[in-house]
Chain A
Amino acid sequence: MTGSFLEGWLGGAVLTSTPIFYAALGETIVEKAGLINLGVEGTMLVGASVSFAVASSSGSVLAGLLAGMLAGGLFNLLLGPLVIGRGANQLASGLALMFFGMGLSAFYGKPFVGSSLDGLPSFPIPWLSNLPFIGSILFKQDLLVYLMIPAAGAVWYLLSRTPWGLHLRAVGEDRLVAYAAGSRTVLLRHQALFLGGVLAGVAGAHLSLAIAHTWTEGLTAGRGFIAVSLVIFAAWSPLRILPGALLFGGTLALQIQLQARGAQVSPFLLDMLPYLVTLVVLVLLRNSSRGRMPEGLKEVFESSREGK
């Protein structure tokens, strides 16, 4: 491997992992509240299409980003009446949401297919970006890339150090006890869905505004599902999302990099590694990772096993 290949790959890895990171960070909040949204893919598509449409109509990337965030949050709230209001099966509801997002973004995004945009500019950090090797990998990226670490810290602080986060986690562990203790369980879970959707909207916006610079149908190409896997990989910790996202994004970027160079090596075996690692880690650490999984989620995964 030459130096420029490594540099290209690692720089690409950081960029590729960004949308996966934001989507998984949002999904962590949702899952901490004892809910699971299997349809992150759909929320990301809505965020990506709306932010691109608004950015290219208004000419303002910031307006596009904000619109994508709002759209993602509102779109996620659709799950509320289903899984909170009616107690519908969460996995099926999430998949329905995914199909909804695929349809809506294809339908409303059609006029924008094929147009392109400068989008989110890269923002080289003075001096640091001139460093050899790591300069271009870490410090010649866009603002959303730099915001990953603060965002992870903020979500960690929100969940573990604020009363709101405490209540939210209590709802995710046992919502009846939380309710008895005076938490507004219905409101809290809707707030979690909204916040998760906002972050999935950021993820979608980064994909269309910063990576693709365009909108096409099905732009996310499975990254929403990667985000769901990543939450499990990170054992529901917002701080472990970033290294996980770099691993998942790194293998994805390697595939892109190899294909761009016309390499005849198959990257697919490498590509499946993150999933297998997640599986093995979950099995090996089954006792401790089961401990980290919000109790309310076990109810979803083990639907009627408790005789309900």
Chain B
Amino acid sequence: MGEARNLRFLGWGASSVSLVLSLASALVLFSVLLLTSGKSPLDTYASIFGSTLGNGFGFSEIFVKMIPILFTALAVALPARLSLVNVGGEGQLHLGALMAAAAALAVGAGTPPWVGIPVTLVAGMAGGALWALVPAILRAKGWLNETISTLLLNYVAIRVVDYFVFGPLRDPSSSNVPQTMTFAEGFRWPAFAGRIHLGIVFALAALVLFAVVINRTRWGYEIRAAGSNPLAARRHGLPVTTYILVVLCVGGALAGLAGTGEIMAIQGRLRPGFSPSYGYLGFLVAWLAGHRPLRILFMGFLVALIATGGDSLQIDQGLPSATVNILMALILFMVLADAWRPDRLEARIQAWLDRKSRGTP
């Protein structure tokens, strides 16, 4: 018993050490890159981390960016447990926002928040889920792989939003800027602590629910079983087709909430290009985290931190804010490649522990 716990602790320790080493080497590589073009790495890091970790408002902004990333990461992680690849978070996010906007504009002013907010929630989830339903059906029928269909539908979704914002949902009084009218107060998600809004409650609730369902329920067990061996699962009579439809649509609904939160709490109206690739960032976070809930939380925070830090680079250092994408990509490369392999680290730590217990240098 104690032995097993020690081994588990060792494995956890090795993967944490591996992660820290990956982050450190990414930071070093980024410094080299900055030095070769005559920029000071210290100033750059001071700007990225100082503006986010060392400043109350900046710190709250990390969580603001983390909300949509958590939703879109969960939209990938849940289907991934059934070995389905949902690359369509960006599209589902757009459709969720569109449906929520349409619902808010249709129901109209004077709606109290206890009606308005649930309306946006339901509409946003429905939009995302409907957008995922097409790939889900195609996949369940065995007609088309969901990786391709969700990817293709991303571009369609962005143009559907453009169509409505430039056309039927356009605010007639804003002739220059294509955007909808501002939503009535009753639909707006309230913010607290800076711009951190109600969405963080939903996102964390979804994360906990995901963890419980996947790890502690029969559904979760069956989903994981069907994911690792669909043929055997079918032979045992598991409803694999139903699960395909459910996990993809629930994933879509979650991504839809990412879009809903962005427009109902942050933007206040729907505009084209309101998402800075949150869908793709969520995809990366889910893969970095191995689709596990706690790691999604950590990786989501990290990616949100770097993205937030980029905004200050422009102001403090005169660097394009996209510069942080370099740092983000270097971290991704290190982690995706398992540059510091946890299994080897584990063996080394074990050897070191053995030597220590034997008392030899």
Q: How far is the CB of A91 from chain B (nearest CB, A)?
A: 6
Q: How many A-B residue pairs have CB under 8 A?
A: 143
Are A102 and B151 in touch, CB under 8 angstroms? no
Contacts of A81 in B (CB 8 A): 337
B143 touches A106 (CB 8 A): no
B interface, size bucket: 35 or more
Asked if A100 and B227 make an inter-chain contact with CB atoms under 8 angstroms apart, the answer reads no
Question: Contact between B284 and A92 (Cβ–Cβ < 8 Å)?
Answer: yes
A269 nearest CB neighbor, chain B only: B163
Q: What separation, in Å, do the CA atoms of A76 and B248 have in the docked complex?
A: 31
Give the distance to chain B from A287, nearest Cβ to Cβ, in Å: 10
On chain A, the residues within 8 Å of B324 by CB distance are 103
Task: Find residues 253-308 in chain A having any chain B CB closer than 8 Å to their own CB.
Answer: 266, 268-269, 271-272, 275-276, 278-279, 282-283, 286, 298, 300-305, 307
| Smallest CB separation, A229 vs chain B (Å) | 6
Hey, which chain B residues are within 8 Å of A303, CB to CB? 83, 85
The interface-forming segment of B203-211, B315-323, B352-360 is: B315-323
Among B113-121, B154-162, B215-223, the one that faces the other chain is: B154-162
Nearest-CB distance from B169 to chain A (Å)? 12
B56 at the interface (CB under 8 A from A): no
**C-alpha gap A278/B280 in the complex (Å):** 21
Q: A82-B337, A108-B37 are in contact. Are A100 and B325 (CB under 8 A)?
A: yes
Residues of B within 8 Å of A102, CB to CB, are 322, 325
- Complex CA distance for A97 and B87, rounded to whole angstroms: 16
- Cβ of B17 under 8 Å from chain A: no
The answer to whether B151 and A229 touch across the interface, beta carbons within 8 angstroms, is yes
Q: Which residues, 305 to 344 on B, are CB-close (under 8 Å) to A?
A: 319-320, 322-330, 332-333, 336-338
- Does B148 make an interface contact (CB < 8 A)? yes
Residues of A within 8 Å of B287, CB to CB, are 89, 91-92
Nearest CB in chain A: distance from B122 CB, A? 26
Asked whether any CB of chain A lies closer than 8 Å to the CB of B190, the reply is no
Point out the residue from A95, A96, A110, A282 that lies within 8 Å of B148, measured CB to CB. Answer: A282
User: Chain A interface secondary structure, helix, strand, loop or mixed?
Assistant: helix
B138 touches A (CB below 8 Å): yes
Could you tell me the distance between the alpha carbons of A100 and B228 in the complex, rounded to whole angstroms? 32
Whether B143 contacts A286 by the Cβ 8 Å rule is: yes
Q: Apart from A103-B324, A104-B326, A107-B33, what 20 extra A-B contacts exist at CB < 8 Å?
A: A38-B87, A38-B151, A89-B287, A92-B332, A96-B284, A96-B332, A99-B329, A100-B333, A103-B328, A106-B320, A225-B154, A225-B155, A229-B151, A232-B148, A268-B166, A272-B156, A275-B152, A283-B138, A302-B147, A303-B83
B residues with CB within 8 A of A:
33, 37, 83, 85, 87, 138, 143-145, 147-149, 151-156, 159-160, 162-163, 166-167, 227-231, 280, 283-284, 287-288, 319-320, 322-330, 332-333, 336-338
Task: Report which A residues bind B (CB closer than 8 A).
Answer: 38, 78, 81-82, 85-86, 88-89, 91-93, 95-100, 102-104, 106-108, 110, 217-218, 222, 225-226, 228-229, 232, 266, 268-269, 271-272, 275-276, 278-279, 282-283, 286, 298, 300-305, 307
Top 6 nearest A-B pairs (CB, nearest first) are A103-B325, A100-B329, A103-B326, A106-B322, A96-B332, A92-B287
